[in-house]
Amino acid sequence: MPDQLFEAMRQSVIDGAPDTATELAQQALASGVDPLEAVNQGFAAGITFAGEQFGCGQIYLPDLLASAEAMKAAMSILEPEMLKQGSQREALGKVVLGTAKGDIHDIGKNLVATILAASGFQIFDLGTSVTPEQFVAKAKEVDADIVGVSALLTTTMAGQKAVIEALDRNGLRPRVKAIIGGAAVTSKWAAEIGADGYSRNAIDALELAKNLMGKGTALA
């Protein structure tokens, strides 16, 4: 049953069907499915697939935004339960998140924020089109362990580099780890700009954050 449910969840996001996604999320909670598992194995798999399709030009921005709406609908049902569980978990670290300057897309970032929070990280979400100075100020203010910068568009990826340079200039690294993600982002780009890590999707981001805090399963 869960496998069929997860597949239906994934498909509801790919299809951009918010009503179906809402029903499936409610069904999952009613059936006692762990909400984090429902996100990771169901809905997040759908948005990851949609993001990859967008990244290689198979679908267009309106399609991706429709998928995001379905994802948002499911999360509005599952998130309260996930955050309740997250507050009961061991505190893993403080993470400042935001989308790079000039980029107003927040699908992936919001998903990363929810999954990290549900797993025990304390999240400080700066929103979209965040300047390097804002990242630095927040990291100093909250004594962050990790700064995560998202960019959906190739044109705003340079903003990720600018944030890392600003963290370096302000003497925050290597203590503060910098991670990046987004549809167009690659591990090659992460290495080029000196990031501490890159994640393809929200589930990878959780494992990456845990590993950087020394709390993850060791990478092979």
Q: What is the pLDDT of residues 169-187, one digit of tens each?
A: 999 999 999 999 987 889 9
Biggest CA pair distance of the chain: 52
**Backbone phi and psi for residue 121, each to the nearest 5 degrees, phi listed first:** -80, 150
Q: What token pair was written down for 197?
A: 């890590």
Amino acid 219: pLDDT: 39
Say which residues have a Cβ less than 8 Å from residue 96's Cβ, sequence separation at least 6: 124, 126, 135, 138, 139, 142, 144, 146, 147, 148
Indicate the CATH number of 2-87 among 3.10.300.10, 1.10.10.10, 1.10.1240.10, 3.40.50.970.
Answer: 1.10.1240.10
Residue 158 three-state SS: helix
Q: Which residues of 153-190 are buried (b: 16+ CB within 10 A; e: fewer)?
A: beebbebbbbbbebbeebebbeebbbbbbbbebeeebb
Give helix then strand counts, H and E, for the chain: 10, 5
Amino acid 215: pLDDT: 67
Q: Global pTM?
A: 0.78
For residue 199, list its beta bridge partners. 181
Indicate the CATH number of 93-212 among 3.40.30.10, 3.40.50.280, 1.10.10.10, 3.40.50.2300.
Answer: 3.40.50.280
77-122 pLDDT per residue, tens:
998 888 787 666 667 899 999 999 999 888 889 889 988 988 889 9
